[in-house]
Structure 1
């Protein structure tokens, strides 16, 4: 049995590439890195990698993480700059006993010394979007913050090993040095090959208030299906935030267990891509349903065209 699931329609090409690796008896770690690199390399996805949206100073600061579900090894970077594939750096860091989570200049210097590709990650298109937002903030007093979609991928290979990864440029117009949930274990991601894996996308400041990725894996370990675990963790925490804080930012989580079953829950409209031994690569739309459940439907061609 094999399978992979990833956040947002932007991950679909990566899921197809990961599917080819997994169906060919390849490694889940390679599948996760390949899926995420596809998104990092594409310049028109505004919230990840090359072409990602910059911070308030016009600098693209990137966050990424990688976790091996067999060994619990974790590698992560935050605020890394001018490096083409942060997910690859995070994966290599996961092999280090010490210093496996690097931030800012230290993360960038590590990547350069290890020979990772250097690249100016600010594209002309992203710079124009940033300049337009600066003008809107000055002229119309608009809220500067928008755009915080993380690409996350969970993979199960035929050896019943699992891995998870995340990559994001974070909150558009964020303050320099701001870090969201994406590189934080338990909050942005978690994997245990004996149970399953989960990962999160959304407003990091609110996702960090809980440890939903770990909670979903824990619930699956207690016998819940991936869908039931996602529903229980996401909607329960969404309600807690609204009760205690008065509001909850957007967040969505994906999960897959070590049998290839998957689940998703969200408090907004959310797209994701999934492929398993039994299911061809497909894109779905998820929305909050009644009684703390999730409505999941295949996307239409009309939606894709739009």
Structure 2
């Protein structure tokens, strides 16, 4: 029985390490995905997802999330959610609707309240202080306001051969009110087909949505490419094209897995990810772009892990 989970960033580890044994025991891919991402959303020190997510320029946390069922292409998504405790949970619930599967703004709150999802103020004291510090830096040091766009994107394969993909993010730090990135957009932030595989993205949404890279990776896997080959080709070809057409390319990273539990990733920046399968223990990796459109991957060192923990919990001035 093949099964597996792969997700963007170190912050996915706790969710995957807790959930993958249940996946082995028969938990469905959708249930495993929602349970795992909720764990990330609830941890306040992960500053780009859920509670403690980074505010927009007005100091308001606006969250995006999406869910896709690879068996039947059911999709649910929300964008600009301000007070729903677990956006991924609402996105998954929307995927069961026939109409109105993508909600924004106040419509999310009304839907969540009607369906008994928990409502919560998503601005943590720490996130508020980070916002205040950034305002001071912009005023006094002339620094750019934009930073932090680390989406959790996850692909899950269960023992029945079904697949699901999901995303959750607070988006770009100090973004304009109402700004939406690639995370809730099908084909850009995520895509999944249980007969082939799934992919999810993280990085600068304004560039990722220009390429529909999650769909492209799945398309390439359908043509017979191994997930690593598909990820390399999709990302590095597009990165090259953006630089040719526009002179630059923002941060872009993608993870993918096929319906055999084989996986791949590609990135144009240093990027961490988490993966575990029926044949591989759950592990945190660090990836970097390599020569000739390849990706270099190594297990995260203890030094890297310690530095990460210190960084996310660093006391604020």
TM-score range, shorter chain: over 0.9
Indicate the residue corresponding to 1:84 in structure 2: 85
2 CA distance for matches of 1:272 and 1:242? 25
Indicate the residue corresponding to 2:218 in structure 1: 217
Q: Which runs of 5+ in 1 are unaligned?
A: none
Compute the RMSD of aligned alpha carbons: 0.6
> Could you tell which deviates more after superposition, 206-215 or 108-117?
108-117
Q: Contact 1:41–1:50 (CA<8 Å) still a contact in 2?
A: yes
Indicate the residue corresponding to 2:315 in structure 1: none
Indicate the residue corresponding to 2:193 in structure 1: 192
1 CA distance for matches of 2:19 and 2:230? 24
2 CA distance for matches of 1:177 and 1:305? 35
2 CA distance for matches of 1:108 and 1:209? 29
Indicate the residue corresponding to 1:122 in structure 2: 123
2 CA distance for matches of 1:104 and 1:124? 23
TM-score by length of 1: 0.99
TM-score by length of 2: 0.96
Asked if residue 243 in structure 1 is aligned to residue 244 in structure 2, the reply is yes
Q: Which runs of 5+ in 2 are unaligned?
A: 308-317
| CA offset digits 1:146-183 (Å, max 9, x no partner) | 00000011000010000000000000000000000000
| CA offset digits 1:62-108 (Å, max 9, x no partner) | 00000000000000000011111000000000000000000011112
| CA offset digits 1:197-248 (Å, max 9, x no partner) | 0000000000011100000000000000000000000000000000001000
2 CA distance for matches of 1:299 and 1:153? 19
Is the partner of 1:233 in helix, strand or coil?
helix
Indicate the residue corresponding to 1:5 in structure 2: 6
Aligned residues: 306
Pairing 1:25-104 to 2, within 5 Å after superposition: 25-104=26-105
2 CA distance for matches of 1:247 and 1:107? 35
Is the partner of 2:281 in helix, strand or coil?
strand
Is the partner of 2:269 in helix, strand or coil?
coil
2 CA distance for matches of 1:205 and 1:219? 23
For residue 17 of structure 1, report the CA deviation from its aligned partner.
2.1
Q: Contact 1:152–1:200 (CA<8 Å) still a contact in 2?
A: yes
